[in-house]
Amino acid sequence: MPISPPVTELIERLYREESRRVLSTLIRLLGDFDLAEEALHEAFRSAVEHWPREGLPDNPRAWLVSAGRFRAIDSLRRQRRFQPLDDQLELPDERGAEESELLEDDRLRLIFTCCHPALSSDAQVALTLREVCDLSTEEIARAFLSSPSTLAQRIVRAKAKIRDARIPYEVPGRSELPERLEAVLRVVYLVFNEGYFASSGDSLTRSQLSDEAIRLGRLLLELLPEPEVQGLLALMLLHESRRAARSGVDGEVILLEAQDRDLWNRELIAEGEALVLQALHSRRFGPYSLQAAIAAVHAEATSLEETDWVQIVGLYDELLRLNPSPVIELNRAVALAMRDGPEVGLEQVDRLLATGELDGYHLAHAARADLLRRLGRREQAVAAYRQALALAQQIPDRQFLQKRLEELDDES
């Protein structure tokens, strides 16, 4: 019997939107990453087989969890290893509404598991991006400036460490939470960034990832209302508020200076500003709160010219004191160019590139190219734009850089 297109499309959409939630729950129920991943694929295979004949279940996500769990238990029974697992599991159908409520927090549990201190920092991030966000090994490798094979080995080792050390699949107790929070915040922000500014591909953004990071940020704030949790959520909301203005109808990049600020989401801005004020007033703020404060200054301005660049440079100075980073220095240099002129900013960007730390970072070369363009140094700007273009991975980014080069060619 042929599968009807609407059901096929629904299953494909469910896989895109729900597979990570289903996987997170299966990991909790089965206690094993690899077994849960096999169960996930078996569940969707079963959906393709049954739903066209039997109709859609009332709760597709719970059905997939149940199907995946049953398939995993059956597999373990066939291998004569079912008894320990079978004893400790209840079937989803026996728990009903309670099980549905638990599903909502499973991704948060999974993040804390992936960010356990027994794992290295790089392994925490790689495992979370792979298991929670479903990024491919190749995509994560690009973010790490590493090879896919090295990244794959890192993920395999992290899973083995969780299994062998019997790391619990849970949100830690309140006494342990603060020391575990920094890694979790870092990972959530990386997830948001991959959604807000995709590392590669033909789309500027991946809204599902950004939405999920914001949802996780809200869950974290409920769990631990600390200033830096407020700061991170504020930062994500303030960035998200500009999404509609960041690209044109054909997906082309629109820089901050050219964005239609009427398209900015004032509701998200108001929420973000309130959160960042709470964080700053606590006097216990950190890097996320300062970055949110910078985003709030941009959000308050009616135009690029009306932006308080003096305040922004001052906030970057404080941010660098707390969290020294060449990327933050680059952002400060761009703000400095707006406050003191492109020559001053260019001097700082050249100094940064001379260290070699940002040599493979296309945005550093793009910033340098823009400053050279503003100074009328056309040939140098063309060379810098070409260098940025050679490094850029994302199609909209490459299109923007190519357009800049064409504009400079037209001026010659």
Q: Specify which residues 394 forms β-bridges with.
A: 201
pLDDT over 70 percentage in the chain = 89
**Between 275 and 20, the higher pLDDT residue:** 275
Look up residue 64 and give its two tokens: 């997939």
Q: What is the mean pLDDT of residues 345-349?
A: 97
Q: Which of 56-65, 189-198, 220-229, 260-269 has the highest mean pLDDT?
A: 260-269
pLDDT at 139 over 90: no
pLDDT at 88 (0 to 100)? 46
pLDDT at 412 (0 to 100)? 63
Q: Which of 41-55, 170-184, 187-201 has the highest mean pLDDT?
A: 41-55
Place 178 in a pLDDT band, splitting at 50, 70 and 90.
confident
Write the CA distances from 259 to 130, 198, 207, 247, 399, integer angstroms: 33, 19, 19, 9, 17
Place 2 in a pLDDT band, splitting at 50, 70 and 90.
very low
Q: Please identify which residue in the block is written with the tokens 């597999």.
A: 75
pLDDT at 349 (0 to 100)? 97
pLDDT at 372 (0 to 100)? 97
Quote the mean pLDDT of the chain: 86
CB 295 within 8 A of CB 239: yes
pLDDT at 82 (0 to 100)? 45
Q: What is the mean pLDDT of residues 242-257?
A: 85
pLDDT at 239 over 60: yes
Look up residue 7 and give its two tokens: 């059901």
pLDDT at 128 over 80: yes
Nearest to 244, CA basis, from 263, 217, 270, 269: 263
Place 363 in a pLDDT band, splitting at 50, 70 and 90.
very high
> Helices then strands (H, E): number in the chain?
20, 0
pLDDT at 389 (0 to 100)? 95
Q: What is the mean pLDDT of residues 209-217?
A: 85
pLDDT at 263 over 90: yes
Tell me how far apart the alpha carbons of residues 176 and 313 are, in angstroms, rounded to a whole number. Answer: 36
Place 206 in a pLDDT band, splitting at 50, 70 and 90.
low
- Give start-end residues of each CATH 1.25.40.10 domain in the chain: 325-411
| pLDDT tens digits, 293-344 | 999 999 999 999 999 999 999 999 999 999 999 999 999 999 999 999 999 9
pLDDT at 224 (0 to 100)? 81
pLDDT at 149 over 80: yes
Range of lowest pLDDT (232-236, 343-347, 358-362) = 358-362
pLDDT at 99 (0 to 100)? 44
pLDDT over 90 percentage in the chain = 48
Place 55 in a pLDDT band, splitting at 50, 70 and 90.
confident
pLDDT at 145 (0 to 100)? 59
Place 79 in a pLDDT band, splitting at 50, 70 and 90.
low
The pTM for the full model equals 0.74
pLDDT at 233 (0 to 100)? 98
pLDDT at 209 (0 to 100)? 78
Show the DSSP H helices in 95-167 as ranges.
97-103, 106-114, 121-131, 137-144, 148-164
CATH architecture of the domain 325-411 equals Alpha Horseshoe (1.25)
Nearest to 130, CA basis, from 109, 166, 156: 156
pLDDT at 394 over 60: yes
Q: What is the mean pLDDT of residues 222-246?
A: 93
